[in-house]
Amino acid sequence: MEPDLKPLSLHNADVYAYPTGDDLSEAVVLLRADLAAHPRERAAVDIETNALDLGDPREAVRTIQLGTSRVILVLDASDANALDAAADLLNDEAVRWTAHNAAYDTVRLARVGVIDSLPSIWDRMADTYILTSLIEPPTSDLGYRDLKSQTRAWCGASAVSADAKADLDAAFAAHKWKGLSQQWKVYDNPDPTAGDNGWAQIDLADIAFIAYAAADIADSARLVAVLEPIARLALGEVVDTEHRVARIAAEMTLRGVRLDRDFTVARRDDCQRGKDAALAEMRAAGFTGIPSRAADIVTFLDGEAMPPHFTDKGGRSTGSVTLAEYAALGSRLAEPLLAWRTADKLLKTYFTRYLRSGGERIHPTVDTIKARTGRMSSSDPNFQNLPSRSAAAQVRECFIADPGMAFISADFSSIEMRVAAAITRDPGLLPLYTAPLAGGEDPRTRCPYWLMAWDLHGPQASKADRGAVKSVVLGRMYGGAGEALAEQAGLPLDAVNAALDAYGRMYPALSTWARETLTPQTTDLGRPIWRLPSGRIQAIDPGDAWKALNVVIQGLSRDVLVHAILRCEDAGLGQYLVMPIHDELLLQVPEDRAEELLDRLVETMRSEVMGVPIPAEGSLLGPRWVAKD
């Protein structure tokens, strides 16, 4: 059928919304003409999906939006003509693009075959999510960096997407579509139109939806015009670096990793049996409350006459250290409650979550600049906080390499303390990493954790003592103290306090650096802001200045990892990258080249920060992602 070229007038733009079967060529010509008339501007791209996990067999792109603040196309992604029109524009090397959180859109457009190459589109991309994160770094992990908030802040009255979302909320309510963020939680309904997900139910011809889809394009085009000149002036090459690493992360998401579903189901079922058994033991002890409710737990423990323990904030403690003490005192609740919590955590956070989509691969989203420290993070699911040892190591073993491939990994050695030495120039810490190792010298004498363990426990100190000290030291640098550190490290409070005394005595600059460095900035500028050696900016709220050392250490450690990832791509390892996990890189490589590529990986990751070497250590893991020794 012939297209109706009478556009909808929405948000001061001409919006062409096409149902399946329409000829799109004339609208594409109009958009190209608008771009030609404004050669310095970028086109914007956005998609709407049915809001399922990337690995879910039912996951689908529903619409593709392309345009400027003046001419916008809203395309039905189920139509071949629409896909061809989008591909024609997106793969045109002459067209420069913008998107807010471009990784989300480009990964899915590549999956449906609209984008020929992620590197090609990213070479022409300015991601406003990255730009705003660089220009105004968040002072908490809850920074408001969504498109609606940012456009309203930077573009003022011309911003339209927030109002369009409010109208769409009203349409969802009127049509009784489920919530905007609703997702299937389990793979129990193969029909995406019959589930609880409003994004799958929504009528693409609904005017509120078309207006919403068009508004994101209009605001993206406006926002990039404001942000990009500022970012490039203030940050220079950092902008290109962050876009490049974001593209590499998007490629990791697109590749994903295989899930051993049978193994995962077995682990889930084992955990459920363990959780049920723990609950039965609690019931046999007379506990009738809810195991996740602290008030019920405290009431029962008081009935057992257990001595009360309190958190740093004054509340009653029911943490693992406290429960372990109660178990030793004869509490019938403490031990099964600990077992119940462990099983519940494994079930909800890992095994059930991995099985949710029903797919054979997991595609975690890697956010390269989300946290206030700048640390990389992952979601859907989170791969950053996987247990690596003990019985919970089976979490990692849910993932297996593709046929003929094997996992290898490498991580930086003691990067937090090495970066801390570089930043603070602490006289006790810096020489441990910079002075040459004498012939026959025990390498442990260069480890601050061993030195502290020996200081506290004498020459008979064990690896467990070293591990406990390490937990306290890192927790202290992250801002922890007292009961919170004891809980985190699994140590008695007096042992934690002894370790903190040794920490302040042996490495004093770690305690004084933030106060001496940031207080003048807090007074003069109202908010401490500084630039890392990489050129990236960090900031912190004045009331949180005590966290500054951790923010700087984590931020600089993150930048070391970013540049290692870029070197990996230059060294031909980029195609094998699976996931960054804190200070570790996980790769999947051809099995017959695993040792060769592991050596290359370790050599490539080796770094230096302000004269302090950062070595890397590698592990050959094999066809299953096993925990390292």
Per the listing, tokens 């149902």 go with 19
Residues of the chain with CATH 3.30.420.10: 8-255
Query: Which of 152-161, 304-313, 486-495 has the highest mean predicted lDDT (pLDDT)?
Result: 152-161
Contact 443, 617 (CB under 8 A): no
Contact 210, 17 (CB under 8 A): yes
* CA distance linking residue 445 with residue 513, whole number of Å: 24
Q: What is the pLDDT of residue 384?
A: 81
Q: Rg of the chain's alpha carbons, rounded to an integer?
A: 27
Q: What is the pLDDT of residue 105?
A: 97
Q: Measured between alpha carbons, how far is residue 347 from residues 28, 208, 274, 386 in Å?
A: 49, 39, 10, 13
| 25 pLDDT above the threshold of 80 | yes
Per residue in 66-94, pLDDT (tens digit) is: 999 999 999 999 999 999 999 999 999 99
Question: For the residues 227-232, what does the mean pLDDT come to?
Answer: 97
Contact 371, 377 (CB under 8 A): yes
Tokens standing for residue 83: 């896909």
> Whats the size of the chain, residue-wise?
629
Tokens standing for residue 308: 């009360």
Tokens standing for residue 572: 């031909």
Among 146-160, 369-383, 455-469, 588-602, which stretch is predicted with the lowest mean pLDDT? 369-383
| 3 pLDDT above the threshold of 50 | no
| 51 pLDDT above the threshold of 60 | yes
Confidence at 290, pLDDT banded by 50, 70, 90: very high
Question: For the residues 159-176, what does the mean pLDDT come to?
Answer: 92
Q: What is the pLDDT of residue 127?
A: 98
**HSE of 556, CA atoms in CB hemisphere, 13 A:** 25
Burial class (CB in 10 A: 0-12, 13-18, 19+), 316: middle
Q: What is the pLDDT of residue 390?
A: 67
Query: Which of 131-140, 292-301, 517-526 has the highest mean predicted lDDT (pLDDT)?
Result: 292-301
Question: For the residues 163-180, what does the mean pLDDT come to?
Answer: 85
What is the distance between the terminal CA atoms of the chain, rounded to a whole angstrom? 65
Confidence at 629, pLDDT banded by 50, 70, 90: low
Q: What is the pLDDT of residue 20?
A: 74
Q: What is the pLDDT of residue 383?
A: 85
Q: What is the pLDDT of residue 541?
A: 77
Confidence at 518, pLDDT banded by 50, 70, 90: low
Mean pLDDT of the chain, nearest integer = 88
Long-range contacts of the stretch 136-141 (C-beta < 8 A, 24+):
136/539, 137/372, 137/374, 137/536, 137/537, 137/538, 137/539, 138/371, 138/372, 138/539, 139/372, 139/527, 139/539, 139/540, 139/541, 139/544, 140/372, 140/541, 141/370, 141/371, 141/372
Q: What is the pLDDT of residue 213?
A: 96
Confidence at 530, pLDDT banded by 50, 70, 90: confident
Q: What is the pLDDT of residue 550?
A: 86
Residues of the chain with CATH 1.20.1060: 259-362
| 436 pLDDT above the threshold of 60 | yes
Tokens standing for residue 593: 């080249």
Per the listing, tokens 């079967």 go with 21
Question: For the residues 41-59, what does the mean pLDDT come to?
Answer: 91
Question: For the residues 581-588, what does the mean pLDDT come to?
Answer: 94
Q: What is the pLDDT of residue 46?
A: 98
Smallest CA-to-CA distance from 297 within 332, 251, 260 is with: 332
Among 45-54, 180-189, 385-394, which stretch is predicted with the lowest mean pLDDT? 180-189
Fold of the 8-255 domain: Nucleotidyltransferase; domain 5 (3.30.420)
* CA distance linking residue 184 with residue 361, whole number of Å: 17
Q: What is the pLDDT of residue 1?
A: 33
Percentage of the chain surpassing pLDDT 90? Answer: 62
pLDDT: is 314 or 330 the higher one? 330
For 29, residues 6+ apart whose C-beta sits below 8 A from its C-beta are none
Q: What is the pLDDT of residue 359?
A: 85
Q: What is the pLDDT of residue 183?
A: 46
pLDDT: is 408 or 6 the higher one? 408
Burial 225-234 (b: 16+ CB within 10 A, else e): bbbbeebeee
Q: What is the pLDDT of residue 4?
A: 52
Question: For the residues 204-226, what does the mean pLDDT come to?
Answer: 96
| 39 pLDDT above the threshold of 60 | yes
Q: Are strands 399-400 and 257-259 parallel, antiparallel or unpaired?
A: antiparallel
Q: What is the pLDDT of residue 192?
A: 45
Q: What is the pLDDT of residue 539?
A: 85
Q: What is the pLDDT of residue 98?
A: 98
Q: Which option is the CATH number for 259-362: 3.30.420, 1.20.1060, 2.40.160, 1.25.40?
A: 1.20.1060
Q: What is the pLDDT of residue 389?
A: 63
* CA distance linking residue 168 with residue 404, whole number of Å: 48
Q: Are strands 43-49 and 97-99 parallel, antiparallel or unpaired?
A: parallel
Say whether 609 sits in a helix, a strand or coil: strand
| 22 pLDDT above the threshold of 90 | no
| 180 pLDDT above the threshold of 50 | no
Q: What is the pLDDT of residue 158?
A: 93
